[in-house]
């Protein structure tokens, strides 16, 4: 098997991100709840996409790209963090965003305007059309360009969360801890798939739970991304659906606040002074609360919640 160090990587974030015990939440839920602060990953307002972008933008640079395209909804955290990363690396970001959600200059769109990022909207529900538009614009510009898919979720981006699992395994050793359960949001899939593959490789005691925040076919998406990342690593592991659990947490739909999600945001803020967002981390944490209430965790279990960020969108979403 290859090592993660065999893949070129640009340094964008502050790693390792801290892990802390949530004492008040642990008391309320009757188990040991820890949080991994990937919202403090350094660039922009932090978030999970930085780990993927360290691999993806190294690849862009290796290919001689000058322009980087990516996409997402109007308030995409991934698009904002791609733009921030490009600013740091001297690449030119062009965001072709779906004309969906809050399109006023608020939240992530405000941050993009502060960075002088070129943002174009396309009125479509098809990412295929958006990727075709990237090729059209890139060809028209006549400069070398690189396309990053929605959420940075391809096999290479998924390595970012395999690396996160390896980082957690080192933090476990340093702290003399072992995590039984790891919980994260699943939005485009790379975080959860990387974590599930990474757990197989580096955290054999841990069970990974993906909290689905949209109705995409995550069974297949997760398996494909895990297999793609395992192939890149030449890892000899059997990938199947027994490697992880998925839970439906989208509520009324992607990017629409749910009652449980809003309650989870409030619970975290009131008890720990930490802010979650209603689109991803609030719904994911609501899944953790639901599991605790169903008795999925023993009192002496160590449960790790991955705070994947989302602060940029918090100021643009109705809640």
3-state secondary structure of 200: helix
Q: Which is nearer to ligand PLP, 44 or 138 (CB)?
A: 44
Secondary element (H or E) of residue 71 = none
The residues that bridge with 305 in the sheet, in sequence order, are 35, 183
76 included as an active-site residue:
yes
Cβ 53 to ligand PLP, closest distance in Å?
12
Q: Is 189 in the site for ligand PLP (CB under 6 A)?
A: yes
Q: Is 47 in the site for ligand PLP (CB under 6 A)?
A: yes
- Among the listed ranges 53-61, 186-194, 243-251, 264-272, the one in contact with ligand PLP (CB under 6 A) is 186-194
Torsion angle of the four alpha carbons 149, 155, 157, 162, in this order, in degrees rounded to the nearest 10: 150
- Among the listed ranges 4-12, 113-121, 181-189, 199-207, the one in contact with ligand PLP (CB under 6 A) is 181-189
CA distances from 225 to 77, 85, 192, 200, 293 (A): 20, 23, 9, 14, 31
Two tokens, residue 215: 């109705």
- Among the listed ranges 22-30, 109-117, 173-181, 302-310, the one in contact with ligand PLP (CB under 6 A) is 302-310
Give, to the nearest 10 degrees, the angle between helix 218-233 and helix 155-175.
80
Q: Of residues 76, 153, 188, 257, which has the active-site annotation?
A: 76
- Among the listed ranges 132-140, 166-174, 175-183, 190-198, the one in contact with ligand PLP (CB under 6 A) is 190-198
Contact map string, positions 135 to 174, toward ligand PLP, x by CB under 6 A: ----------------x-x---------------------
Q: Which is nearer to ligand PLP, 137 or 274 (CB)?
A: 274
First to last CA, the chain: 46
Cβ 35 to ligand PLP, closest distance in Å?
13
Beta strand pairing status for 32-37 and 19-21? antiparallel
3-state secondary structure of 151: helix
Q: Is 186 in the site for ligand PLP (CB under 6 A)?
A: yes
The count of residues interacting with ligand PLP (CB under 6 A) is: 20
Q: Is 251 in the site for ligand PLP (CB under 6 A)?
A: no
Q: Is the dihedral of CA 228, 202, 148, 223 positive or negative?
A: positive
Half-sphere exposure at residue 201, Cβ-oriented, CA atoms within 13 angstroms: 29
Q: Which is nearer to ligand PLP, 138 or 194 (CB)?
A: 194
Q: Which is nearer to ligand PLP, 138 or 228 (CB)?
A: 228
3-state secondary structure of 63: coil
The residues of the shown chain that bind ligand PLP, judged by CB under 6 A, are 47-48, 77-78, 151, 153, 185-192, 277, 280-281, 308-310
């Amino acid at each position: 098997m290859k090592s993660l160090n065999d893949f070129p990587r640009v340094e964008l974030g502050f790693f390792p991100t801290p892990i802390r015990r949530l004492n008040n939440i642990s008391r309320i839920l009757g188990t040991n709840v820890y949080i991994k602060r990937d919202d403090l990953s350094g660039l922009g307002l932090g978030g999970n996409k930085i780990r993927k972008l360290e691999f993806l933008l190294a690849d862009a640079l290796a290919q001689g790209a000058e322009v980087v395209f990516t996409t997402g909804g109007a308030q995409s955290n991934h698009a904002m963090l791609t733009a921030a990363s490009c600013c740091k690396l001297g690449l030119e970001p062009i965001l072709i965003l779906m004309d969906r959600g809050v399109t006023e200059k608020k939240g992530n769109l405000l941050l993009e305007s502060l960075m002088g990022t070129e943002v174009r909207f396309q009125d479509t529900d098809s990412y295929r059309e958006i990727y075709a538009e990237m090729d059209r614009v890139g060809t028209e510009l006549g400069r070398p360009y690189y396309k990053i898919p929605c959420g940075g979720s391809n096999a290479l981006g998924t390595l970012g969360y395999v690396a996160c699992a390896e980082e957690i395994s080192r933090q476990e050793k340093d702290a003399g801890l072992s995590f039984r359960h790891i919980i994260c949001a699943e939005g485009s899939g790379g975080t959860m798939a990387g974590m599930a593959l990474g757990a197989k490789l580096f955290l054999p005691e841990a069970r990974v739970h993906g909290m689905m925040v949209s109705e995409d076919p995550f069974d297949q998406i997760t398996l494909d991304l895990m297999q793609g990342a395992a192939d890149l690593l030449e890892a000899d592991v059997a990938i199947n659906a027994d490697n992880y659990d998925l839970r439906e947490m989208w509520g009324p739909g992607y990017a629409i606040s749910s009652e449980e999600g809003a309650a989870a945001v409030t619970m975290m803020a009131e008890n720990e002074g930490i802010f979650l967002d209603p689109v991803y981390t609030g719904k994911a944490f609501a899944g953790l609360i639901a599991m605790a209430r169903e008795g999925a965790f023993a009192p002496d279990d160590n449960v790790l919640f991955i705070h994947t960020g989302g602060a940029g969108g918090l100021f643009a979403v109705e809640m």
